[in-house]
C-alpha cells in the first residue's frame, strides 16, 4: 500500500495516530494479515516530522537529491537507509535515535542546519538572522545542549 503525504489535511495528533495504526490495520486485516498468498508493505511518502518521529529509523528511507551530472542528465535521488548512517556503535545509534526522535525529526526536511549549544543561542540566533534581513526558510536551528559531546562531521555529511 502506498500513501502519499497523509499529513496534507491532518492535525498533528491524527498524523501520529495514523502511522501507529496503519501497520496494525494491515497486519490484522482478515484477508491480508494471516494469508500466505499475500504479503503487504506499507510505503508512506511524507514531509511530516511528526510521522517520521513515530517510526523507527530502521524503517525510514531518506531520498537525497543528487545534482545533474556533466552530461546534462536529469537530477536523480539516492536512497539512504538511516539506520546505516549513524555508524556501527550501538551507543551512538541510541544517542542519535533518542536525540532526533525526541525533538528534531524536522532535520530530515530542512534545507540547512545550524547547530547551537545552549538555550541563549537557540533563542537569539534566529532573531539575529531575521534582524539582518536574512530568511530562515528551510533552515532549522536545533539546540545541541549535551556537554562534552563532539559532533562527528561525517555523520552530518552522510545524512545530508
Helix (H) or strand (E) holding 141: none
Q: What does the pLDDT average to over 96-105? A: 72
Specify the pLDDT at position 31. 72
| Mean pLDDT in residue range 88-100 | 78
Q: What is the pTM of this model?
A: 0.62
Q: Domains of the chain: which residue ranges?
A: 84-160
**Mean pLDDT, the chain, as a whole number?**
75
pLDDT digits (tens, 9 = 90+) for 23-75: 888 878 777 766 677 777 889 998 888 888 888 877 888 888 887 776 667 87
DSSP string for residues in 32-99: TTT-SS-----EEE---HHHHHHS-GGG-EEEEEE---TT-PPPEEEEEEHHHHT-S-HHHHHHHHHH
Lowest pLDDT segment from 13-27, 60-74, 109-123, 138-152:
138-152
Amino acid at each position: 500500500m502506498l500513501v502519499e503525504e497523509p499529513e496534507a489535511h491532518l492535525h498533528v495528533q491524527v498524523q501520529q495516530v495514523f502511522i501507529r495504526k496503519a501497520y496494525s490495520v494491515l497486519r490484522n486485516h482478515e484477508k491480508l494479515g494471516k494469508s500466505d498468498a499475500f504479503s503487504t508493505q506499507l510505503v508512506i511518502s511524507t514531509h511530516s516530522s511528526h510521522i517520521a518521529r513515530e517510526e523507527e529509523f530502521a524503517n525510514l528511507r531518506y531520498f537525497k537529491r543528487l545534482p545533474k551530472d556533466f552530461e546534462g542528465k536529469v537530477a536523480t535521488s539516492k536512497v539512504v537507509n538511516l539506520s546505516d548512517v549513524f555508524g556501527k556503535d550501538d551507543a551512538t545509534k541510541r544517542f542519535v535515535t533518542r536525540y532526533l526522535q525526541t525533538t528534531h525529526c524536522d532535520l530530515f526536511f530542512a534545507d540547512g542546519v545550524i547547530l547551537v549549544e545552549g538555550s541563549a543561542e537557540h533563542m537569539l540566533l534566529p532573531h539575529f538572522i531575521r534582524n539582518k534581513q536574512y530568511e530562515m526558510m528551510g533552515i532549522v536551528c536545533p539546540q545541541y545542549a549535551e556537554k562534552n559531546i563532539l559532533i562527528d562531521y561525517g555523520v552530518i555529511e552522510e545524512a545530508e
